[in-house]
Each structure stands twice: as structure tokens, then as C-alpha cells.
Structure 1
């Protein structure tokens, strides 16, 4: 704080208004200029300011003699005290962009509060669009607030949004709603058709059958062109069975499973080495630990077929799908790769006395 009571946050940058506490100002470091602040930050700031107006609408100075204060200190509604209360709560402490912008526009905020409120009650319009030129009016975009492309129904025909609308950014191109395309979103996109209308209004675009790329109606027999994985036959898109052709490319130990408009490569059963379908009955060859029994690859029970599946002393054989394992028999535990009897520990006299 300098000799005049101003709060200084940088060399040569001091603030005279008492509306922002020194604690808040010291956390703000100005980067760039006001014009680099995005429209959304200004919108967020002004929206929060309006909420502050509503929050303090029924407040007063809070002293012991409100009538005297209103007479001598001017009305609370337009007072510096109320402005201070609002400004201190406008930005969250973690919102750096909002705090930075607030730091840079203190003169404009003061001007609007004390001199422009009545003639310009819309703070966002006056501050963000007209004064700071960070935003554009609805239906406009870009640095010069160029008018968005419009047609029947409004901006982008009412069937899309103008890229950058309301901001100083964007190229103004129409981003159409699903089902629509064209400069003004007046055409039906691929996979959609124009419904018939009994009046003079332009009917909406509706989705074709899921197999159609182009169509004249919603039924599967109204197709004009098909999506990949389908072939047109008598105005109907018929699924291509890639699994019955050379179109499918599946890695080893998988099989081809046909789906609508495509196919999937699914894993073979664990009993198989290569397969022609799901399950142990479609194996090309049985995997290790399995044997062809009838038409299926079934598990080999090594524990019953091998004379000594587990050669270790006091070991038991446990059969598993496609394999087996050796465990210590009941009452035994493994120590140093040997199954020994699981006996309780023996205590010496010295251990018992301690």
C-alpha cells in the first residue's frame, strides 16, 4: 500500500478503489490484456455479479441507525458498501481467469455501478459486448461480430448452431443437428430421408433403416444405396456374410461370427487349436490336455489315467480343465519342495519359561 492508501499489486500498478480486498488483489497477476479474456469468463463474471445483486437486494448498512445512514451515506442500493460485498464474492478463489479479468476491469465496473445502471441495466450486454468487446450479440460471431448464416427458421435454419455464435471466435459455419446437412442445414444427411408433408412447411428429416445409406422411406425396402457390409437387392439392403467369403480376416485360434453389416472374430474354445465355430465340437485340432472323444475335444483326466501323475511323496493329484496339479495331501504341508506332516511346533523348557 502506498502513501495515498492505494493497494499496489505490481510495480507501477496501484488501485485506488477500496472495493477489492488486499488479500484478493495480492493473489492476482495480470497476464496479457483484457481482450485476451474469453467471452465465457466475462459471462461467468457478470452472471455471478447479478446473483450478488439479488443476494444483497434486501440488505442495508447494518449499523445501529439505518435511517441516519441512508440519509447521510446515500442509499445502500447504490452504495460503495454494497458494491464491495458483491465484488468480493464474484469470483471463486480457484477461478484464475475470472479474478484476472476482474482485476483489469475495475474502472468499467465502477462506471457501470455509479453511472450506467439505469440506462444500461443489462450488465453482460454493456460490459462484455459493448465495452470490452469480448462477446457478440446472439446470432453473431467472430472479431467483428459478423452475422451468422440464417435461413427459414433462424440461425442455421433453426436446425443447427453457428460456430462461435455469441463470441469473438469461430468461423460462423453451421454445425447441423443430427440428420441434417448443407450450408444452412436444409438438406437431409446420409442415412436420412425427407418425410412427406400435407402443408406448406418443410417436413423434417427422419432416419432410414439402419442398413440404408440413402432411402425414400423408413422401411428396409425403401433403400437407394447401402451402408458398408450390405448389398442392394430389389430396393432392400441384404447383409453380406463375410464369414462365407474371403472378406473376413481373423487371427489364429479365432473364428468368424457374422453380424448385421459386419463380422466379429471370436476366440476358440480352450479345448481347441483352431476352430470353425464356438464350443469344443467345432475344433480343428484338440489342445494339449484334451482328447477327441466322439465329435468333441474333451478334458483328459490325467489323475486317473496316469499311473503316477504326482510322483512326490505324500502328494495328491488334482485334475483341472486341460491340465492337472499336484498338492500336498491332507495333513501335509510343503517345505523345501517336499510334503511333510503338518505337526504343531515343539516347545523347549526355556521357551516355555520365557
Structure 2
């Protein structure tokens, strides 16, 4: 039977070898769609009709890891999975076979994990700030600090420029000083109203007590260093 088909194929006129055949036919017995005898690559003969081969549904579609197969006219394409996936069955984070690192399954989708909001902070350096990124996170140094190796180090004062005594005061510390200052003023005014000439003595004692109490807390080292430098 095979020999007879080969002989018949060889005896076909030149016009039947694709010139007057229907679409997708390489050889035919006539111009009609159901008169195909041989199909073009990517098609298979079924009841004398050339039908597109779905390579993705057969072993013909060979796609590498982390890609998925898309059948096209006479061939197929391999397209990349979503970045949230490790292997997939189609496009998008809802077609993942498994979630990639930095993602977790939620409502049948692989969604980004916000590492910065986790209970255990990912940045080990207390002077670093966590910034969430797609699938991961970054640790950046807080303002006033620079990354040296793996540690955030406080920026150094330029050579020849000594830091001022009040340069590193925080907002809450400034507020405390304001309250102390106003307290001294009120005390002085009260003394002036009661005794008159004791105003300056009261102001002096109140101011000295307030300043000594503040600087002996957590600024004593800076005050001593400034004093020794003659500041």
C-alpha cells in the first residue's frame, strides 16, 4: 500500500505539488480543501484536510524551565513566566506552579512579601532603613549615615570644622530646653515680684541648675570635650 501511494505521488502532475492546492497543502489531488495529500510543516493530514498541530499539547512543544508554551499558526512559542512564579501554566501570578522566593500564595496568586513589615526586621543594622522591593528588599542607611562595608557609619565632620555644641540636638531635646528656659523666666519674674532685688540671683541659680541637670544627663561627655578644647 505504501509503495502504491509513493507511485501515485510521483505520477501527480506538477500542478498538484502545491501550485493549485488549498492553503497548508504541499501536495493535493485537487484545489479543494479536503483534497490534500501532503501537508506543509506544522500541519497534519486528517481526512484529507491539513490541520494545525498543537505542539503545546504534545511532546513536540519543548519549552525550557520557567517558561510556558503558546500554540501559534504552524508552530509554537515559549514565553517567560511571571517573575512571581517558579514554573507556570500560563501568564500572570495566578498561573504559577510554585511561588518564587520573596513571594507567597494568597487568594490563589503569588504576591510580593513585604519583608519590611514582618515581625523580624530584615535589616540587622540599627542605623539602616528597610525598603521593600518587588520580590525582595533593600537596607539603606538612615540620613546622616553612610554605608561602610556592611555597616552604616555616621558621617564625619569635614576637616577643620568642629561640630557645634548644639548641632546634634534632637527635636525633643530642644523642646525640653525651651520648657526649662521658660521655667527659669517664670521663676525669675515671680522672685522679682516678691523681693525685687533678688531677681538676678534667682535667674542665675535657676539657669545654672537647669543647664547642669541637662548636661549631666546624656550630654556631659560633649560638654567636657568642648570645655577641654576651649570652646
Other-structure match for 2:80? 267
Distance in structure 1 (CA, Å) of the matches to 2:84 and 2:33: 41
Say which SS state the counterpart of residue 193 (structure 1) adopts. Answer: coil
Q: C-alpha displacement at 1:189, in angstroms?
A: 9.7
* RMSD over aligned Cα atoms: 2.8
Taking a change above 3 Å as real, the CA distance of residues 259 and 339 of structure 1, as seen in their structure-2 partners, is: same
Q: Give matches, 1:90-129, under 5 Å.
A: none
2:50 is equivalent to residue 237 of structure 1: yes
CA deviation profile, 1:124-169 (whole Å, cap 9, x unmatched): xxxxxxxxxxxxxxxxxxxxxxxxxxxxxxxxxxxxxxxxxxxxxx
Distance in structure 1 (CA, Å) of the matches to 2:123 and 2:46: 64
Other-structure match for 2:138? 325
Say which SS state the counterpart of residue 278 (structure 1) adopts. Answer: coil
CA deviation profile, 1:72-103 (whole Å, cap 9, x unmatched): xxxxxxxxxxxxxxxxxxxxxxxxxxxxxxxx
Q: C-alpha displacement at 1:328, in angstroms?
A: 0.8
Other-structure match for 1:314? 127
CA deviation profile, 1:239-277 (whole Å, cap 9, x unmatched): 111212233222322222111112222222221122111
Unaligned runs of 5+ in 2: 1-13, 163-231
Q: Give matches, 1:61-210, under 5 Å.
A: 192-194=18-20, 209=23
CA deviation profile, 1:143-202 (whole Å, cap 9, x unmatched): xxxxxxxxxxxxxxxxxxxxxxxxxxxxxxxxxxxxxxxxxxxx5695x415xxxxxxxx
Distance in structure 2 (CA, Å) of the matches to 1:346 and 1:189: 91
Q: C-alpha displacement at 1:222, in angstroms?
A: 6.0
- Name the structure with the higher helix share: 2
Unaligned runs of 5+ in 1: 1-186, 195-206, 350-354
Per the normalisation by structure 1, the TM-score is 0.37
Per the normalisation by structure 2, the TM-score is 0.55
Taking a change above 3 Å as real, the CA distance of residues 315 and 243 of structure 1, as seen in their structure-2 partners, is: same
Matched length: 148
2:48 is equivalent to residue 227 of structure 1: no
Contact 2:115 2:121 in 1 (8 A): no
Distance in structure 2 (CA, Å) of the matches to 1:282 and 1:235: 37
Say which SS state the counterpart of residue 246 (structure 1) adopts. Answer: coil
Q: C-alpha displacement at 1:348, in angstroms?
A: 6.8
Other-structure match for 1:250? 63
Contact 1:313 1:338 in 2 (8 A): no
Q: 1:285 aligns with which of 79, 91, 98?
A: 98
Q: Give matches, 1:36-47, under 5 Å.
A: none
Other-structure match for 2:205? none
Greater gyration radius? 2
Say which SS state the counterpart of residue 281 (structure 1) adopts. Answer: helix
Distance in structure 2 (CA, Å) of the matches to 1:268 and 1:193: 42
Distance in structure 1 (CA, Å) of the matches to 2:90 and 2:43: 23
